Chain A
Amino acid sequence: MLTDFATVLVFMVLGAVTVALLLLVSRLVQPRDPTPVKLSTYECGEVPFGSSWVQFNIRFYVVALIFIIFDVEVALLYPWAVIFQRLGMVAFVEAFVFIVILLAGLAYLWKEGDLDWVRTMQDAPARKEGK
């Protein structure tokens, strides 16, 4: 059991060592001639302006929130799947109730328009009046 997971550790360490080793080899054979222009940020040849660490579209945050909810659920369904055939009907009913509640949540998000990437102005009437 413990040796099973020791293998995982060996793999991870070997992966990291490989990256470090290849970087080292590359460091030994590559040319090094940094110039200010070469080290500047790439913006398709234009002179770069400002930082890129800017405020970001709130949609990404909403997607992350929805993901957390559903990912926890998937994590919960895995152990359920392992013992499903032993428990039979009870397990099915429990998972059914669980999934229906979550699908209701998904339906609510759908209705609220949180699943749409681009929200049209009709979806947000309050903002339209405000302007």
Chain B
Amino acid sequence: MIVVAAVPLLVGALLFCAVRPCARRLPPALAVRLLTVLALSVALCSGLVLSVLAVLVGAQLGPMPQIGNWSAEAIRRESDLPVLAGLAALLIVAGFLTSAAIQAGRSLRDLTRARRLAQTLHPVGDTLVLIEDEVPTAYAVAGAGGRVVVSTSMLRALSAPERRVLIAHERAHLRHGHHIYLHLARLAAAANPLLRPTADAVAASVERWADEEAAAEVGDRQLAAHTLAKAALVRTERCGSHEALAIAESYVVERVQALLAPPTHRRRSLASLVLLGFGASWAAAATVALWGNNVVQIAEAVYHHR
């Protein structure tokens, strides 16, 4: 059973190693959806599996057998778990849950704050918000129906077709609710550190998704690539320093390269591999949960027949 219990963690470990190249080979919209669902599944399933192990060991300790009316001896025999493994599982689950709860709280707080701030931005027309930042800036904020914030310096640096790429990119973020995927992936990563690269891959794929939508809208991937590069170069030039880099990585070089390369086609094999990981995680979690339930039932029967 230990082997089955290890499956979600194993899927997590595989993701840890291989998620970035995997995400790059999938069409970005598919990658975002698949990886977000897989990350949440792995986080939930590994948490579930570890909880079962922790409960089985915890049920043998101290006054628990008297309180629950089950036989500690039967649980030990049936589950065949080392006490140390159970204690480790308990600690890990507690850690995961705490960090997930903190992240969930933080996400909610940040989203609420962003929404409130978005309401104080005055748009010209329905969504466009102009600012006078010397550093060319553009971003989308969800909330208040969605706002596209652009500095006039950015608009001046771009030609009309390039501005169209920029607008289409930001609108794609808003239209598809990209921030939701980012927060869910972040939540999964908080619940299981093995999923951190997956959260990063989701963040990168979200940008790629918006890039591809923009390229499709103007019907020219080269133009989209040039716009991105130009915006990044102008921004870097005006910033002067490179210190801000650590704060907001947005994978510009990777994105430009992807737009200059031929579009990624759906890869059946890769997508099914992701689905396999999803299925395996849930199957393992269900098996372990049923087994744990079974063990406790036997222990209860043993207790009552004494």
On whether the two chains bind one another, the answer is no
